[in-house]
Amino acid sequence: MMTAHQQTTWQGELRRDEPMTKHTSWRVGGTADNYYRPVDLDDLSLFLAELAEDEKLTWVGLGSNLLVRDGGIRGTVISTSGMLNNISLQQENTLYVEAGVSCAKVARFAAKQNLTGAEFLAGIPGTMGGALAMNAGAFGGETWDKVEQVTTISNQGKCTLREPNEYKVGYRSVIGPRNEWFVATTLKLEEGDVKVGQAKIKKLLSQRGATQPTSQPSCGSVFRNPDNDHAARLIEVSGLKGTCIGGACVSEKHANFIINTGTATAADIEALIEKVAEIVKQQHGIELHREAHIIGEAI
């Protein structure tokens, strides 16, 4: 049970029974028992320190890689998006970035500082915290290729500086110390040219808009790419583009996107994810693994 019922030392905003439809890019999901938006990192530490040790925590940024089931989330959701939002230039071409900063903002900020190497982040529709948690990538770049150091926070609110070698990092996968969450990182970049960087970002965003259904609710890529292949190709050649369950449909524009046409439930989306994976396995003998995270309780 949550113990931080009375506002004492912490200053953030605590909401009860918060609809997660407002906080996920698929625009579906039940309610969170408790939903906390910290003022800053110090405030988050204070809030966590007051929680019961067994309180279940769920961390949400832009909710762009997340399917929250229709029964909602028990325990407490910590929202970092727009809250842990500090970004600054450090010495020797490094950026300090907190977990709530959007990846696109990191790309733009780096370019303005005449730094190169972060342009690919413009193609990731989430926050830095989420990018660190899953080694997000786009256009051939991956988050952890640029990580010099990370700051984590424990369930009890203790912050720790950690090095990349303390994590096992792979394709869309990061394994490290248990019960710690990423709250900030230092990124090592290279000297570049602001105009070149901005032009590259513009080109990447144009490419993304041309190939992905960016104007419709989705989570981004649903499945990881298998070795030496692309999930979108396998789904498309399986004849699944345009396949729907309820209000959830496989995008006609990009087969590795499932869109909410307006009436989808989380159950519709989850059923469609399972159907796509099943048919691809039947037809090609390849097991697709989800990139999207599914959390919460079904109804």
Domain at 68, CATH number:
3.30.43.10
Query: What's 157's DSSP letter?
Result: S
Among the options 108, 172, 218, 270, which is catalytic?
A: 172
Q: Does 221 qualify as catalytic in the annotation?
A: yes
Q: What is the pLDDT of residue 197?
A: 82
Model confidence over 59-82: pLDDT tens digits? 999 998 899 999 999 999 999 988
Let me know the angle formed at the C-alpha of 105 by 40 and 200, rounded to the nearest 5 degrees: 160
Maximal C-alpha separation, the chain? 58
Domain shared by 151 and 198, yes or no: yes
Asked if residue 21 belongs to a domain, the reply is yes
Domain at 268, CATH number:
3.90.78.10
Domain shared by 146 and 49, yes or no: no
Domain shared by 74 and 101, yes or no: no
List, as one string, the DSSP characters of 238-276. Answer: TT-TT-EETTEEE-SS-TT-EEE-SS--HHHHHHHHHHH
Which whole-number Å values give the CA distances from 96 to 83, 147, 195, 222, in the listed order? Answer: 15, 10, 22, 29
Q: Where are the alpha helices (DSSP H) in 22-94?
A: 41-49
Domain shared by 136 and 167, yes or no: yes
Asked if residue 1 belongs to a domain, the reply is no
Asked if residue 2 belongs to a domain, the reply is no
Q: Which of 3-7, 83-87, 194-198, 201-205 has the highest mean pLDDT?
A: 83-87
Domain shared by 91 and 57, yes or no: no
Angle of helix 194-211 versus helix 103-112 axis, rounded to 10: 150
Q: Which two tokens stand for residue 117?
A: 């190497």
Assign 200 a pLDDT band (cuts: 50, 70, 90): confident
3-class DSSP state of 37: strand
Asked if residue 217 belongs to a domain, the reply is no
Domain shared by 116 and 201, yes or no: yes
Domain shared by 237 and 282, yes or no: yes
Write down which residue in 50, 79, 108 finishes a domain. 79
Model confidence over 246-273: pLDDT tens digits? 999 999 999 999 999 999 999 999 999 9
Asked if residue 240 belongs to a domain, the reply is yes
Asked if residue 47 belongs to a domain, the reply is yes
Q: How far apart, in whole angstroms, are the C-alpha atoms of residue 293 and residue 299?
A: 18
Domain region containing 26: 13-79
Domain shared by 277 and 187, yes or no: no
Domain shared by 195 and 118, yes or no: yes
Domain shared by 28 and 68, yes or no: yes
Among the options 221, 238, 270, 290, which is catalytic?
A: 221
Model confidence over 218-251: pLDDT tens digits? 998 999 999 999 999 999 999 999 999 999 999 9
Number of domains the chain is built from: 3
Asked if residue 174 belongs to a domain, the reply is yes
Domain shared by 74 and 119, yes or no: no
Domain shared by 171 and 236, yes or no: no
